[in-house]
Amino acid sequence: MSYLFLLLFSLLNPPVQVVLDPGHGGSNLGARSHDKSVYEKDLTLDLAKRISTHLDSLGITYRLTRSSDRYLTLLNRSTMAKGWKPNCFVSLHFNASQLHNRQGVEIFYPEESHAPALEEITKLAGTGRDLMAQKGSVRPLIVGSYLNTLGKSISSSGSRVFAKKLAWRLLADGFKVRSIKKGDYDVLVGTGTKAILFEGGFIDNPRESITMLREATRDRMAASLARGLAILCRSSNQLY
């Protein structure tokens, strides 16, 4: 009976493979299109829903951090994602620049935190012998900090590969990729999996804004992203 219950539970609650995080929302408007007709928060939600439709057709399970125009803190977003234990996390955004002349997709992955040797960490609280004698008051905090830093280092490496492979697929589908680089974004910290922040183009650029405001363009981008995510996020690979 217990086996049947577990089987039924797993069928009704399949593992989440992708978490889509539509950036901004509510009072957090984000960037504004060149013609002032739409805010970033609306475009990110629209793109997330389009990706969801394509993921459905590909048989990929997913969750959205928001499915309506509501405000969420960065901690809300990463905490939700970690609770769902996904295979990957994608925070969706659209870009803007001071000169309004930049174009192309940008993909960011988390900054790498280098974990020092555990022996070096213990010196911060005294000798190793003193640390062992403190009966868990300081030692778990230091060891936990070490493991967390190590986990972030591993996550950065996995996220970098994830970002590059997704970029290659976008390039193959005809999208201009401006850069793939490290980004110090709080929303990417603590998701427990490989995570990227995706900027789908500069909506303040006169030419690119016109392109991105077309539903056909956003749907083509959503289809390309969904195909990439279907391949890159199928296997379980929770990192920290």
Q: 117: helix, coil or strand?
A: coil
Q: 197: helix, coil or strand?
A: strand
Query: Is the CA virtual torsion 46, 51, 53, 54 positive or negative?
Result: positive
CA distance 193 to 185: 15
* φ, ψ (nearest 5 deg) of residue 198: -105, 120
How many CB atoms sit inside 10 A of residue 238's CB?
15
CA distance 149 to 232: 25
pLDDT at 163: 96
With residues binned 3-state (H G I as helix, E B as strand, rest as coil), the percentages for the chain, rounded to 5, are 50, 20, 35
pLDDT at 130: 53
Stretches where the chain sits below pLDDT 50 are 1-3, 5-10, 114-122, 125, 127-128, 131, 143, 145-147, 149-154, 237-240
Domain ranges of the chain: 15-112+155-232
pLDDT at 154: 45
The CATH number assigned to the domain with range 15-112+155-232 reads 3.40.630.40
Q: 173: helix, coil or strand?
A: coil
> Mind listing the pLDDT tens digit for each residue in 80-137?
999 999 999 999 999 999 999 999 999 999 976 544 444 444 455 454 455 455 555 5
pLDDT at 117: 46
